[in-house]
Chains A and B, each alone.
Chain A
Amino acid sequence: MLTVDHRGNTLIARLSGELDLQVADELRTRLDRALDERVTANLVFNLEAVSFVDSSCFGVILGRYKRISGGSGEMVFVSTPPGVRRVLELSGLLRIGREYATEEEALAEMG
């Protein structure tokens, strides 16, 4: 469901599998724990291994963005699979966070 990686003040969250109501609570808890661990300015969501996502988990993602955005942090999405892009667009999250092809590209752009 989730592995995390801290790079400086950026948290990389690599999501995987089917992200729906069943995993939403645990995903929220684990992301919050990672955000509590270190001061985080930016969030990178790597969606490469996500096979399904619905508004239960988009809500979790938006909620974590609200946690960091108070400090003018940035949220971005990388490696979005074709089957996920449509719902990611519908969610409106692409109006908040830009998309990059790879983690490296995102990290370079966010400085």
Chain B
Amino acid sequence: MDYHNFLRFEFYSLPVNVGLARVTVAAFAAQLNYTVSELDDIKGAVSEAVSNAIIHGYQGAPDQLVRVTAVVRGDELEIVVEDGGKGIGNLAEALRPGYTSGVERLGLGFSFIRSLMDTLDVQTVPGRGTKVLMTKRAGLPGGHAHAN
């Protein structure tokens, strides 16, 4: 049977918690056979998704909950970042590279996440919240490992 592990944590929608979230997920991910640069990719993806939840989902409100779930199934890590915020009105447009939201950031970070992870799925309900699901397999031959 495949190895399974599960982590879930919730925190207030404060910018100070973005770093906490990415470091926590990366520490959890380190049980898989990721290269250092792949762990950096995971940190980047978590950072983008959690920042989106705070800035766009909750519009900067500091006392709302962001939930992060990380699941290990075999050699794959799935990360889910959820907020109960305003949702994304036009998801297709938001997923386009180069989309900018008015806030001085590079788009919504989705094109970043897509490059850093193997898969990305975004589910959103306007007024109800957004769920960002992403996966990355460890130990892929031909991955962009730099340590070998």
Contacts and interface: CB of A to CB of B under 8 A. Distances in A.
A69 interface: no
Interface string B110-130: 011001100000000000000
Contact of A87 (B18, B36, B103, B112): B112
Contacts, number: 68
B47 A54 contact: yes
Chain B interface category by residue count: 20 to 34
Contacts of B16: 22
Interface string B64-98: 00000000000000000000000000000000000
**Main SS class of interface, A:** helix
Nearest to A53: B44
A69 to B, nearest CB: 15
Interface stretch (A2-10, A59-67, A97-105): A59-67
B57 interface: no
Contacts of A54: 44, 47-48, 51, 109, 112
A59 B112 contact: no
B2 interface: no
B32 interface: no
A83 B95 CA distance: 25
Residue among A56, A59, A82 with most chain B CB within 10 A: A56
A86 B116 CA distance: 9
B112 A90 contact: yes
A20 B52 CA distance: 12
Interface of A: 18, 20-22, 24, 28, 52, 54-56, 58-60, 62-63, 82-83, 86-87, 90-92
Given A22-B18, A52-B43, A59-B106, 18 more contacts: A21-B15, A21-B51, A21-B55, A22-B15, A52-B19, A52-B40, A52-B44, A52-B47, A54-B47, A54-B112, A55-B48, A55-B51, A59-B103, A59-B104, A60-B104, A62-B104, A62-B106, A63-B104
